Each structure stands twice: as structure tokens, then as C-alpha cells.
């Protein structure tokens, strides 16, 4: 028996039409460094139409890939709307990838057109001669004369190209299962892998972002999207904002603590999202330059776990709750959000908030042991997390031959190691490649990092395993001190004495200027291991 319900594709074009009509007065605010540029959702509809018409004139007539090499701003938002809605595929290029990785992903995706922000032209120009399929480059917010293109590639001014285009477009009825957008993983192991999101998956994911037990994005919100639009679709915020009518504040290239504080003061957003390193820097700035940020009802942290000390500092000193979320490029990226159940009280609330969160109905999860057995949700059994669902990748772009080990019996192997409580809350203890195996037992590098960062003199701490003849591996802690602070390795080790098991106390310590980061702001432990192997770390041993 079939249903009697109407059918219609869940497409980005449908979402765009809804946003520009129903939420016409909501805004996209782009920070300029000294003020703002403002565009309503109604204006966005016209902007996106002009861009779509321009891309048609450049030969984008089907599902060609259109790359973006841009900051978070109004032009990037127009690309987010126009490219999928017209039936093409948005490919957000990570501006922080190593040059050879950038070349690889643009060629692998077969980008036909690339939109480039003017401030990023010098960075992009070095790689353009190696991009085999790119035929057009559109420069926004900059001078096109600064980009010398190789033969066969045309360079266009964004403003001039769009100026002559109509501000209406007949958005096609796109199949919801066709690709709408692409992101590539950060390539910390091997070449980056491409994930192609469908219109349907983005639509369903947007609904989850707006749900009350998730990020709770609402029409009344003004959301500061610090997480880059080139990193896992800016955690779904752009499309969720179109769905619900939330205004967006885009920081453009101004991502340092001082300009972020200026944006907060000027626009008073109610919601914000960024990786922990952004909030660490902002916390230090606010402590030195106090200002009222209580207009933030909540900030979401993802990419890596936020130290409990950071969560407590923001809430207790500034009245801003920090909400944990977990996900990855392959999960669109939202996988879980750590919103405590209503029955939690007292310290239980914090215990839930320290986790990576509770799985929604659309994300099924399981834990697999090293021997391949499924483990119980008892908040004790630790194994590798596998997930599946309508916004979870089933393969990488290029087919099943691309990293087939990542997919297991219809499930995505996340590479994350952790445990799950009986009521569905995930606690990650490590990445499978970062867990420290010492004397037959596992030491969580994440737990050690959080414990060390609880010391008031410590800004950042990254833990790696180093070879040990007796125990196989032992932890090495790389510490970044807060400005003007001093502490010794012996004092830090003493500080940990009542916080971790005695056998887990690190014997190896190094003080460094900065923890190396990946292209998405995570601790780059591969580089840290290389620094140690090359003798570039000054290590104190106990």
C-alpha cells in the first residue's frame, strides 16, 4: 500500500526559495575589519540568481564542480545557495591544505570554475598552473589583474561578471539524491578523501541542527559562524540558517581574538560555533580585556574536545555555556550534541556536558572491539565507533576502491575510540592512531591533555606516545604556557598526581611555543611526533 502524501524533492533550490520569501528580512552580515556589509535573505536570492546566470554563461550547465577558495562572507554564502540550487556541485576548497593536497583535491573533483577571494589570490595563483580541469577563475573582493592565468584559463571580476546578469533564475527541480556539495577530509593520513553530500542529506542535516536537543538554531538567533565554510560545510550552519531564518554573522578573514571580540561587541550574536583553539584564544583576550558577552546564549565547540577548564571558565566568568558536539567530514558533520537530559542534576549535568553528546534518531552507532565484536553501551566498554544514517557517507568520491577499509558492513569506521552510555551519550577517549598503549593498557591522550590544561598556567597541551623498551609506549606532553606564566614540568606532574592513575603519570615533558595544527585547527600529532623523532623537542625526563 502506498501513502496518499504528496512527493517533492528536498533540494537546496526549494530551501533557497523558502528562505528568500518567508525569511526575507533575515540578514547575512560580513565583517570588514572596520564595520560591516549587510545583505538580507531577499537580497541573497537576487545575488544567488545573478551568480547562477553568470555560471551558466561560463558553461556550468549540469553537475560540474564549482570550487570556492574563500573566507566566510556574503559572496561565499551566495555560492552555497546558487551552485547546488542550479544543479551544479559546490566544492569548498580548504585554504589551509598543503599546496600538493590542494592541487590533488581540485583535480580529483574536476573543478570547472573556482571562485577566489581577492585576499587569497597570491596563495591560489601558485597552484593554478597545476589545476588540470579549471577553465574559469572568478575573483571576488579583489583586483583581477593580480592573477596571471595560464593558457586556457579565463579570469573574471566577480562584480563585473554579475553586474550584467538578471536577478531572477528558474531554479530547476533537482533530484534530492544527486550531489549538492563536496568536502574533502584534511588528509592527515594519505591523500584527502572526497565526500559528496546529497541535497537530501543536507536538508535532513539542517533540520537536525535546528532541533531543540541539537544546536537549537532558531529564527530569533543571530549566529556567528566562525567555523570556516570550507570545513565540513561550516557544521551545517549556512543551510540551517536558510531553513529556520536565523541571521548569520560572517567574520571573513578576521579570525584573531581581538577582531572576534569586536564582532561580538558590535553585532551581539546569540550563538557562535568554532573549534576549541578559537575559544582558548578568545578567553585569554577577554581575561585581559573584559567585555560583556552574555548576549551569547550558547557557543558550540567541535573538531576536537574542549577542555573542561575552558567550559567552566566561559560559563563561570562570562555566563556563556559551551556545548560539545561531535562529527566529521563524513558525517555532514553533525553526529552528536552534548545536551544533558532533563533528569540530570548537579554534577551529573557537567558529566554529561563533558561527553561528545547524544546520538539523534538519524545517526545509528555501535562500538567494535579490536577482535571485531560489538560492545555493549555500558559506559565502560571501549572500542572503535562506527556510525550509519541518512547523512553519513557510504563511500568516498571515486568509488569503493578509495579507502575501502573505512567502511565496514554498511557502517562508517570513524577512527575514534570511546564508550557509550546506556542512554546514548558518547565519550571519546582518543583517535585510534593516537591512543597510547602502555604495558598492555590504554592511556587516553585526550584525558591527559584535558587534565594538564586544567592548570592555570597552561594554554595548550598535546600528548603523544613515544617508544619505551619496557612499556612499549609512554606519554610525552608538549605544553604551551599562557603569556606571562611560568611552571615547571615537575610542578605539572605533581598537579596531575591526584587527577590520573599513578601509572599514567607522564615521564616526558616539553615546553613549546605553539602546538602544530592541522588545516581544520586540530592538534597535528603527526607533525609533533616528527618533531620529536627529529630531535626538535627539548624534552625533560623523569
Catalytic residue among 437, 441, 503, 536: 437
Residue 330 catalytic?
yes
The yes/no answer on whether domain 12-197 falls in CATH 3.40.50.12780 is yes
Query: What's the first-to-final CA gap in the chain, in angstroms?
Result: 72
Assess whether 437 carries a catalytic annotation. yes
Nearest Cα to Cα of residue 353 among 326, 375, 387: 326
Residue ranges matching CATH 3.40.50.12780 in the chain:
12-197
Look at residues 73, 89, 323 and name the one whose alpha carbon lies nearest to residue 202: 89
What SS3 string covers 259-301?
A: HHHHHHHHHCCCEEEECHHHHHHHHHHHHHCCCCCCCCCEEEE
Reported as type and span, the H/E element at residue 209 is helix 199-210
**Residue from 350, 377, 442, 471 carrying the catalytic annotation:** 442
Q: Where in the chain is the domain with CATH 3.30.300.30?
A: 436-541
Q: Which of 39, 330, 384, 386 is labelled catalytic?
A: 330
List, in order, residues 6 or more apart from 327 with CB less than 8 Å away.
Answer: 232, 235, 302, 333, 334, 335, 336
For 436-541, CATH gives 3.30.300.30
Per-residue tens of pLDDT for the chain, all 542 residues: 999 999 999 999 999 999 999 999 999 999 999 999 999 999 999 999 999 999 999 999 999 999 999 999 999 999 999 999 999 999 999 998 889 999 999 999 999 999 999 999 999 999 999 999 999 999 999 999 989 999 999 999 999 999 999 999 999 999 999 999 999 987 655 788 999 999 999 999 999 999 999 999 999 999 999 999 999 999 999 999 999 999 999 999 999 999 999 999 999 999 999 988 899 899 999 999 999 999 999 999 988 788 899 999 999 999 999 999 999 999 999 999 999 999 999 999 999 999 999 999 999 999 999 899 999 999 999 999 999 999 999 999 998 888 888 998 999 999 899 999 999 999 988 776 777 878 767 788 888 988 999 999 999 999 999 988 888 889 999 999 998 999 999 999 999 999 887 888 999 999 999 998 887 777 888 889 889 988 889 999 98
Q: Which of 14, 30, 68, 185 is catalytic?
A: 185
- Say whether the peptide bond before residue 333 is cis (omega within 30 degrees of 0): yes
Amino acid at each position: 500500500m502506498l501513502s496518499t502524501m504528496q512527493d517533492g524533492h528536498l533540494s537546496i533550490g526549494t530551501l533557497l526559495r523558502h528562505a528568500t520569501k518567508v525569511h526575507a528580512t533575515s540578514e547575512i552580515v560580513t565583517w570588514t575589519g572596520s564595520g560591516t556589509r549587510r545583505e538580507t535573505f531577499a537580497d541573497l536570492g537576487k545575488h544567488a540568481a545573478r551568480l547562477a546566470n553568470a555560471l551558466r554563461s561560463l558553461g556550468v550547465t549540469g553537475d560540474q564542480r564549482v570550487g570556492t577558495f574563500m573566507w566566510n562572507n556574503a559572496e561565499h554564502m551566495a555560492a552555497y545557495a546558487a551552485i547546488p540550487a542550479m544543479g551544479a556541485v559546490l566544492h569548498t576548497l580548504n585554504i589551509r591544505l598543503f599546496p600538493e593536497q590542494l592541487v590533488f583535491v581540485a583535480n580529483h573533483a574536476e573543478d570547472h570554475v573556482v571562485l577566489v577571494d581577492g585576499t587569497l589570490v597570491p596563495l591560489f595563483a601558485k597552484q593554478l598552473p597545476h589545476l588540470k580541469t579549471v577553465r574559469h577563475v572568478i575573483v571576488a573582493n579583489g583586483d583581477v589583474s593580480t592573477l596571471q592565468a595560464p593558457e586556457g584559463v579565463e579570469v573574471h571580476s566577480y562584480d563585473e561578471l554579475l553586474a550584467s546578469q538578471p536577478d531572477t533564475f528558474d531554479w530547476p527541480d533537482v533530484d534530492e539524491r544527486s550531489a549538492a556539495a563536496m568536502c574533502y577530509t584534511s588528509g592527515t593520513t594519505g591523500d584527502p578523501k572526497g565526500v559528496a553530500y546529497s541535497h537530501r542529506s543536507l536538508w535532513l542535516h539542517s533540520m537536525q541542527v535546528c532541533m531543540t536537543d541539537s544546536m537549537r538554531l532558531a529564527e530569533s538567533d543571530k549566529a556567528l559562524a566562525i567555523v570556516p565554510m570550507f570545513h565540513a560545510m561550516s557544521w551545517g550552519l549556512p543551510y540551517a540558517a536558510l531553513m529556520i531564518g536565523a541571521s548569520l554573522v560572517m567574520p571573513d578573514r578576521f579570525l584573531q581574538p581581538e577582531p572576534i571580540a569586536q564582532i561580538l561587541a558590535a553585532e551581539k550574536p546569540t550563538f557562535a560555533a568554532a573549534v576549541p583553539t578559537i575559544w582558548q584564544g578568545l578567553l585569554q583576550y577577554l581575561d585581559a580585556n573584559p567585555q560583556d558577552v552574555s548576549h551569547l546564549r550558547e557557543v558550540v565547540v567541535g573538531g576536537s574536545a574542549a577542555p573542561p577548564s575552558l567550559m567552566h571558565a566561559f560559563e563561570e566568568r562570562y555566563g556563556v555555556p559551551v556545548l560539545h558536539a561531535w562529527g566529521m567530514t563524513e558525517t555532514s558533520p553533525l553526529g552528536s550534541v552534548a545536551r544533558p537530559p532533563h533528569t540530570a542534576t548537579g554534577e551529573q549535568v557537567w558529566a554529561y556536558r563533558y561527553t561528545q553528546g547524544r546520538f539523534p534518531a538519524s545517526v545509528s552507532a555501535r562500538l567494535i572491539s579490536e577482535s571485531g565484536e560489538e560492545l555493549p553501551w555500558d559506559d565502560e566498554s571501549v572500542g572503535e565507533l562506527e556510525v550509519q544514517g541518512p547523512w553519513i557517507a557510504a563511500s568516498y568520491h571515486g568509488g569503493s576502491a578509495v579507502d575501502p577499509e573505512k567502511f565496514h558492513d554498511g557502517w562508517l569506521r570513524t577512527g575514534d575510540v570511546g564508550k557509550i552510555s546506556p542512554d546514548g551519550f558518547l565519550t571519546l577517549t582518543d583517535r585510534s592512531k593516537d591512543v597510547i598503549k602502555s604495558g598492555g593498557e590504554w592511556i587516553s591522550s585526550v584525558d591527559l591533555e584535558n587534565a594538564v590544561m586544567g592548570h592555570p598556567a597552561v594554554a595548550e597541551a598535546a600528548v603523544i606516545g613515544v617508544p619505551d623498551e619496557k612499556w612499549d609506549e609512554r606519554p610525552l606532553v608538549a605544553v604551551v604556557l599562557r603569556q606571562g606564566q611560568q611552571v615547571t614540568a615537575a610542578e605539572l606532574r605533581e598537579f596531575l598526581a591526584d587527577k590520573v592513575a599513578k601509572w599514567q603519570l607522564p615521564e616526558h615533558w616539553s615546553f613549546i611555543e605553539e602546538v602544530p595544527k592541522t588545516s581544520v585547527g586540530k592538534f597535528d600529532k603527526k607533525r609533533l611526533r616528527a618533531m620529536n623523532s627529529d630531535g626538535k623537542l627539548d624534552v625533560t625526563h623523569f
